[in-house]
């Protein structure tokens, strides 16, 4: 972020100016006070007060108001220099530093001429008091120049955003003949509420373009026949910096658009904004989080031009600063994997997310959500993980030595804890089976009964070994999950099967799967070469992982995810997570796992289908994803 020195009171600056030898003390002090008062009022925006301290209030007012218009939003920080007094005239050297709005600072040396009036010294009202090269009938002209926005790239360094033609669908206020009918037709074509369109148009002045929605050219062509001939509807074109598709890794990459009033206000330092209306800035995701790195720094030119616009005066440049380009941001995203993930989630009608992580590195290879979903939930969503949590519960049990893969365990249809009944899906009852089968068939009662025998902190400790609960320091937040360490009774029982007080995000569950796959859990990586997002998780012991992996493989070979049996060496855990107050309760569907080898190399992933009702929906999305990876 650009930094500026903290503003100093002009009086404190003046104290540092040495007194010139040979000048009369009283005259010099009076001159200094007059110049100081003038500059303080000017810097404070008190144009009238500053003008009254000059030889011609009207001339000075016009000059200062013209300068304020020429340098909109700029803040003056003056500093006095040498003072020379000769009889009833004086010269005060000064340095003008302008904190320009949405541009670098501009400094120059000038001189104020003063005359001794009847009551006090007065600044001579002349153009040179603003800038030494400014003459009669002239003003300043400031022109900003913006650098090209630096790219966000994929893992191979290929830019992910390109200039793309868009069509701005809107209304020309005053040209509509039947606003309710126009709004209804635009709403039917675009999905924007008709009452919002009506309200926006009614609030706009006549002749103004009122935007409704901005569409990529292919998307506009699909609705063209519905809207093109509507009276009052207009369709100006433009270009925008856009990702390959509207949903391409949206949660991570974010969007670029015109600077909003909020962003402009937030960018202000000492009252001077870094951005201006019309600037293209990051609105979300990495584009927003790394805005300053990507956008670089604006440049500017200042010219002296005629105040008479009819003269054709091209002006004379008196200052220039070149724009400084931004620096590219490289992500670990793999375009082929992202496209496969996008295609897989697009086929599901319910809100769906798929996050892919590279085992051993924590790099986010794909972050996908379908159109109906809140894309942010892929990284920052907080959901009960249901039985996908059993991979962590099994870690705790194996770490404690409570069970081994071949240990016989009970899997009754129901179990009661402190008066509350827990059950398997449809109350299936396996009797006594090896722990491997209880895991593969996702036996709730087994994990509840075994989990209750663990020390209270054991589940949280097992989760923490995969990084769960870590405060990841990332440009775009990833919810790392929460697993209480002090739960008891029915809450402890529910936590063991991913209900109760346990919450996870798809991204964190993908990181858990990656840690199991590689044996070396890693902090998430959103930007290649960035500082680590946190300490490397400790991970379970090699012995525990060696026992856990076959359990997850059996889920695919003979358990609840056999639909993935022909997708290579796939390991995983399904999950159905109840939520809400309906009877029977609604459920999210999960699949968390990894594949070794095959197209794309080793991949870990988590799929969440919000309201999927069972894990089969998530398994189907996983199947589509793995089938599309080339």
Which pLDDT does position 310 carry in this prediction?
Answer: 61
Q: State the span(s) of the chain assigned CATH 3.10.450.50.
A: 10-132
Which pLDDT does position 26 carry in this prediction?
Answer: 65
Per-residue pLDDT tens digits for 22-70: 334 468 999 999 999 999 999 999 999 999 999 999 999 999 999 999 9
Place of tokens 């008066």: 419
The single-letter DSSP state of residue 222 is H
CA distance 133 to 11: 27
Instruction: Supply 122's token pair.
Output: 């007065």
Instruction: Supply 393's token pair.
Output: 């519960």
- What topology does CATH give the domain 10-132? Nuclear Transport Factor 2; Chain: A, (3.10.450)
Which pLDDT does position 308 carry in this prediction?
Answer: 82
Point out which residues pair with 144 in neighbouring strands: 300
Q: What are phi and psi of 159, to 5 degrees?
A: -55, 140
CA distance 553 to 513: 12
Q: Which residue has the higher pLDDT, 148 or 4?
A: 148
Which pLDDT does position 11 carry in this prediction?
Answer: 36
Which pLDDT does position 241 carry in this prediction?
Answer: 87
CA distance 220 to 233: 13
CA distance 286 to 531: 15
Helix-then-strand count for the chain, H and E: 21, 24
Which pLDDT does position 278 carry in this prediction?
Answer: 84
CA distance 124 to 143: 29
Which pLDDT does position 22 carry in this prediction?
Answer: 35
Mean pLDDT of 356-379: 97
Taking alpha carbons only, the member of 66, 552, 579 closest to residue 305 is 66
Q: Which residue has the higher pLDDT, 21 or 427?
A: 427
Which pLDDT does position 20 carry in this prediction?
Answer: 34
Which pLDDT does position 313 carry in this prediction?
Answer: 65
CB atoms within 10 A of CB 165: 13
Which pLDDT does position 408 carry in this prediction?
Answer: 98
Q: State the span(s) of the chain assigned CATH 3.40.710.10.
A: 335-628
Q: Which CATH class is domain 152-321?
A: alpha beta
DSSP characters over 72-116: TT-EEEEEEEEEEEETTEEEEEEEEEEE-TTS--EEEEEEEEEEE
Which pLDDT does position 630 carry in this prediction?
Answer: 83
CA distance 100 to 320: 13
- The whole-chain average pLDDT of the chain stands at 93
The single-letter DSSP state of residue 142 is E
Of the CA atoms within 13 Å of residue 588, those in its CB half-sphere come to 28
- CB of 318 closer than 8 Å to CB of 131: yes
pTM (two decimals): 0.86
CB atoms within 10 A of CB 585: 11
- CB of 109 closer than 8 Å to CB of 117: no
Mean pLDDT of 261-265: 90
CA distance 440 to 411: 12
Per-residue pLDDT tens digits for 379-399: 999 999 999 999 999 999 999
Mean pLDDT of 574-586: 94
Which pLDDT does position 18 carry in this prediction?
Answer: 36
| Distance (Å) of CA 78 to CA 11, 44, 50, 157, 505 | 10, 11, 14, 46, 53
Mean pLDDT of 254-258: 92
Question: How distant is the alpha carbon of residue 513 from its chain centre?
Answer: 26
Which pLDDT does position 24 carry in this prediction?
Answer: 40
Which pLDDT does position 560 carry in this prediction?
Answer: 98
- What topology does CATH give the domain 335-628? Beta-lactamase (3.40.710)
Whether omega before 584 lies within 30 degrees of 0, making that bond cis, reads: yes
Give burial (CB, 10 Å; 0-12/13-18/19+) of 186.
buried
Which pLDDT does position 6 carry in this prediction?
Answer: 36
- CB of 288 closer than 8 Å to CB of 260: no
Determine the straight-line distance between the first and last CA of the chain, rounded to whole angstroms: 41
Which pLDDT does position 7 carry in this prediction?
Answer: 38
Portion of the chain with pLDDT greater than 90, in percent: 89
Residue 269 pLDDT grade (very low, low, confident, very high; cuts 50, 70, 90): confident
Q: State the span(s) of the chain assigned CATH 3.90.1310.
A: 152-321
Instruction: Supply 533's token pair.
Output: 């997002």
Mean pLDDT of 218-231: 96
Residue 312 pLDDT grade (very low, low, confident, very high; cuts 50, 70, 90): low
Mean pLDDT of 206-213: 94
Portion of the chain with pLDDT greater than 70, in percent: 95
């Amino acid at each position: 972020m650009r930094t500026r020195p903290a503003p100093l009171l002009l009086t404190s600056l003046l104290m540092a100016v040495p007194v010139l030898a040979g000048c009369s003390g009283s005259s010099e002090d009076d001159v200094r006070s007059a110049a100081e008062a003038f500059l303080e009022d000017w810097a404070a925006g008190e144009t009238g007060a500053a003008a009254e301290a000059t030889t011609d209030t009207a001339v000075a007012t016009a000059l200062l108001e013209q300068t304020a218009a020429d340098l909109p939003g700029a803040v003056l920080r003056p500093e006095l220099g040498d003072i020379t007094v000769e009889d009833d005239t004086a010269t005060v050297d000064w340095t003008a530093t302008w904190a320009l709005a949405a541009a670098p600072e501009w400094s120059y040396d000038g001189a104020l001429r003063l005359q001794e009036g009847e009551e006090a010294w007065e600044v001579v009202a002349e153009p040179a008091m603003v800038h030494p090269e400014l003459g009669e009938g002239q003003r300043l002209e400031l022109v900003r120049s913006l650098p090209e926005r630096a790219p966000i790239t994929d893992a191979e360094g290929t830019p992910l955003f390109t200039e793309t033609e868009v069509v701005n669908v809107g209304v020309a206020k005053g040209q509509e003949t039947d606003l309710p009918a126009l709004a209804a037709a635009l709403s039917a074509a675009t999905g924007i509420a008709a009452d919002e369109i009506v309200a926006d148009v009614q609030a706009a002045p006549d002749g103004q373009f009122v935007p409704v929605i901005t569409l990529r050219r292919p998307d506009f062509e699909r609705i063209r026949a519905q809207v093109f001939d509507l009276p009052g509807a207009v369709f100006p074109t433009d270009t925008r910096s856009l990702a390959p598709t509207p949903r391409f890794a949206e949660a991570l990459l974010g969007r670029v658009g015109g600077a909003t009033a909020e962003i402009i206000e937030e960018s202000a330092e000492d009252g001077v904004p870094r951005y201006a209306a019309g600037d293209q800035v990051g609105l979300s995701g990495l584009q927003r989080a790394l805005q300053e790195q990507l956008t670089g720094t604006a440049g500017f030119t200042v010219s002296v031009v005629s105040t008479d616009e009819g003269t054709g005066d091209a002006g004379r440049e008196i200052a220039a600063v070149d724009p400084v380009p931004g620096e590219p941001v490289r992500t670990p995203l793999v375009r082929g994997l992202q496209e496969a993930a996008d295609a897989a989630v697009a086929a599901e009608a319910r809100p769906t997310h798929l996050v892919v992580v590279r085992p051993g590195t924590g790099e986010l290879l794909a972050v996908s959500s379908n159109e109906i979903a809140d894309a942010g939930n892929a990284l920052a969503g907080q959901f009960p993980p249901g039985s996908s949590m059993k991979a962590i519960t099994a870690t705790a049990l194996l770490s404690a030595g409570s069970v081994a893969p071949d240990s016989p365990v009970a899997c009754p249809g129901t179990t009661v804890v402190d008066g509350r009944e827990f059950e398997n899906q449809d109350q299936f009852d396996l009797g006594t089976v090896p722990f491997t089968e209880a895991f593969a068939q996702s036996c709730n009662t087994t994990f509840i009964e075994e989990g209750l025998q663990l020390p209270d902190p054991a589940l949280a400790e097992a989760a923490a070994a995969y990084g769960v609960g870590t405060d990841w320091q990332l440009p775009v937040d990833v919810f790392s999950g929460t697993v209480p360490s002090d739960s008891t009774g029915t809450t402890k029982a529910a936590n063991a099967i991913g209900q109760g007080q346990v919450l996870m995000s798809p991204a964190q569950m993908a990181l858990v799967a990656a840690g199991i796959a590689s044996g070396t859990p890693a902090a998430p990586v959103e930007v290649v070469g960035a500082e680590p997002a946190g300490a490397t998780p400790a991970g379970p012991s090699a012995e525990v992982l060696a026992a856990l992996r076959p359990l997850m493989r059996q889920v695919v070979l003979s358990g609840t995810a056999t639909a993935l049996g022909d997708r290579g060496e796939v390991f995983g855990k399904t999950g159905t997570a109840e939520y809400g107050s309906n009877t029977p309760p609604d459920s999210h569907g999960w699949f968390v796992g990894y594949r070794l080898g095959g197209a794309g190399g080793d991949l870990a992933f988590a799929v969440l289908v919000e309201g999927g009702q069972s894990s089969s929906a998530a398994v189907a999305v996983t199947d589509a994803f793995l089938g599309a990876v080339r």
